Chains A and B, each alone.
Chain A
Amino acid sequence: MARFITRRLLLSLLTLWLLATIVFIIANVLPNDVGRTILGPFAPQESVDALNERLGTNRPLIERYIDSMVGVVTLDFGNSFVTNQPVLPTLAAAIGRSAKLAGLALVITIPIAIAAGLFAARRRDRPADRAVVLLGLTSSSIPEFVTGTILVVVVGVQLKLLPVIATPPRNADFLTELRYLLMPALAMAIVYFGYIARMTRAGTIEVLQSDYTRTATMKGLTTRQTMIRHVLRNALIPTVAVIAVQIGYLFGGIIAVERIFNYNGMGQTMLFAAQRKDIPTLTAGAIIIGIVYMLATLAADLIIAWMNPRIRLEAER
């Protein structure tokens, strides 16, 4: 197991380096003049030069590259172009708020989606299964901002069940905060329901057809025992993998959701940074979400290796 983890960690570091390099290229190589990009085509050349001087974007590319790589390692993403404050502290607080929202979305969606997937797999190709498959397909194909606006209109404005903004009043207790976060979390949960349910269904169908499931049934175990001891452990492997991948995407969809529900998290911060052409904040955001995605997939790989020793041994070879 130790060898498996070491190898996996080293590969993650390599991926992180490549990812940071891609983001650096987008932010520094694509615009040939950062000052001009920010000030626009009509600004006088002196202002552009002065801005490039202040931002340090007139230094040689290689120097900026080394700086930014050191920055990734030391988690120092430089200063915001707009506020001139270090990027990370502002971003960290916003990410914390977004994590609350994303976490709630996952807590809502994972149990329901796994239950739906298992339910459908055991009724394969029957109407109930087709219904779950089509429902999952529909829910996962509609963008979060579309579900979000429809929820606001129906649940928030017409039925007046939940608040239409996500930011709770100051010093709100836990339950009030939960009430405010529920609708945006639901908008995100709906998208992920489809992915997770379909993966669970596919994984379970495969395991239900396996020899060891047949053996378990034939040696007289009850359905319940077979499901818990033999089926679930293997059937949920693809589910664990897809949940990890979705955690990365969660932070993409969150931008639109935070805009609709006016929630001051990671997404709003990124959107404000985009409107003000605050490139360091955007790059930091992209890299941090990349790291979150890699940590999530790493955790998933470890869980999967723990769930299935065959995968673990295969990886060590």
Chain B
Amino acid sequence: MDVPIAPAPATTPVTVGAVSERAQARRETIRQLLKRPAFLVGIVVLLGWVLTAILGERITPYDPFNDFALNHQPPGQVAVPGQDVTEFHLFGTDRLGRDVLSRVMVGSRDVLVVAPLAAIFGVTAGTLLGLIMGFYRGLIDDVLSRLVEAFLALPVILVALLTLVVLGPSPLVVVAVVGILFTPIVARTVRSAVLSERQLDYVTSARLRGESGLFILSREIFPNVLAPVVVELTVRFGYAIFTVATLSFLGVGIQPPSPDWGLSVAEEYSYMISGVWWSTVFPALAIASTVVAINFIADSLQSVLGE
């Protein structure tokens, strides 16, 4: 099941042959991925949400922001106040009479920008930290390891809540907080990958060749720990959506008037008890489908790249 990617021939200078070998390995990885139904389902769902976010008002049945029919009407025909017509709302209307389907279609806009940025931030910082910790060992590693340990003990949602209260909720702060809280998790993964690489022969021979530490780290070790980094990026992307959606639900993430899914659930959930389920359930299902899709992609990558 697990197909190891061909180890990059790092000790030899990069020749045409080596490049094509790497390209071949990459093609093989993609072929393996496309054979997995979970991966395909994940990609289709995720691309679907990206597409509705980009096309937005051009394809939504109604204006998601400024089209007000009768409020809290169940899926079906809905009267428009002041006019003698009815409109068809497939997912019903929300508390202000806006079309739930249209809002769900554009609701991915903010989270699909904030969450990937947070994931990229966390993975970049974490990879740098992990490379340094694993390669230089010694005092730097000891000190950073203790810090990583302390960060891991922090409750993510609670610390994000505290920081957003202190700095005020803005998308940039959300990206920074979630990114920083993800950094130590990534650092720990990359560190252990580097630890097992650094005792291999190609590192020793690079040392004997007199290469600098920076060169060995960036040109020899980094390409060989790329697989776990890529896996970590997709996994963190999933967690970032999970976290950002939760923060939006708690009122400190994406702010109104965004049609964001987590925010919509927060604005509408108290009406569930009186039977108005559609304005909460549809955005909730949208969140669920997105995080599940990303986790399917991440899991497939993990098995194909063989961790």
Contact = CB atoms under 8 A, between A and B. Distances in A.
Contacts of A26: 159, 162-163, 166
Interface in B1-31: 1
18 contacts: A15-B150, A22-B151, A23-B159, A137-B296, A140-B295, A141-B242, A143-B291, A146-B265, A146-B287, A150-B281, A153-B281, A248-B153, A255-B250, A274-B164, A283-B162, A286-B155, A289-B158, A297-B153
A279 interface: yes
Contact of A138 (B242, B252, B295): B295
A97 interface: no
A65 to B, nearest CB: 16
A277 B272 contact: no
A15 B149 contact: yes
Interface in A247-267: 248-249, 251-253, 255-256, 259-260
Taking each of A16, A279, A290, which has the highest tally of chain B beta carbons within 10 Å of its own beta carbon? A290
B172 to A, nearest CB: 14
B150 A134 contact: no
Interface string B189-219: 0000000000000000000000000000000
Given A31-B166, A252-B157, A157 B272 contact: yes
Interface string A135-154: 00110111111100110110
A16 B275 CA distance: 46
A153 B164 CA distance: 30
A285 interface: yes
A138 to B, nearest CB: 5
A275 B262 CA distance: 18
A101 to B, nearest CB: 15
Interface in B114-147: 146-147
B65 interface: no
- Which 3 A-B pairs give the minimum distances between C-beta atoms? A18-B150, A252-B157, A141-B295
Contacts of A23: 154, 159, 162
Interface of A: 11, 14-16, 18-19, 22-23, 26-27, 30-31, 37, 125, 133-134, 137-138, 140-146, 149-150, 152-153, 156-158, 164, 248-249, 251-253, 255-256, 259-260, 270-271, 274-275, 277, 279, 282-283, 285-286, 289-290, 293-294, 297
B295 to A, nearest CB: 4
B158 A18 contact: no
Contact of B165 (A144, A157, A252, A282): A282
B246 interface: yes
Contact of A15 (B153, B162, B167, B295): B153
A134 B161 CA distance: 31
B150 A153 contact: no
A92 to B, nearest CB: 16
B115 to A, nearest CB: 12
Interface of B: 1, 38, 146-147, 149-151, 153-159, 161-167, 238, 242, 245-246, 249-252, 262, 265, 269, 272-273, 275, 277, 280-281, 284-285, 287-288, 291-292, 294-296, 299
Contact of B161 (A11, A31, A282): A282
Contacts of B163: 26, 30
A146 B161 contact: no
A55 B175 CA distance: 30
Nearest to A248: B155
A253 B156 CA distance: 10
Contacts of A125: 1
A138 B299 CA distance: 11
Given A30-B167, A256-B250, A286 B158 contact: yes
A142 B290 CA distance: 9
Contact of A27 (B150, B156, B162, B242): B162
A19 B153 contact: yes
Given A19-B153, A30-B166, A137 B272 contact: no
Nearest to A153: B277
Given A274-B251, A289-B155, 13 more contacts: A11-B149, A19-B154, A23-B154, A141-B292, A141-B295, A143-B246, A157-B273, A252-B155, A252-B246, A282-B161, A282-B162, A290-B155, A294-B153
B139 to A, nearest CB: 15
A14 B146 CA distance: 8
Contacts of A290: 153-155
B242 A143 contact: yes
B155 A149 contact: no
Contacts of B146: 11, 14-15, 18
A16 B152 CA distance: 11
A18 B165 contact: no
Contacts of B285: 146, 150
A140 B291 CA distance: 10
B273 A145 contact: no
A282 B252 CA distance: 14
Contacts of A157: 272-273, 275, 277
A12 B137 CA distance: 21
Contacts of A149: 265, 269, 272, 280-281, 284
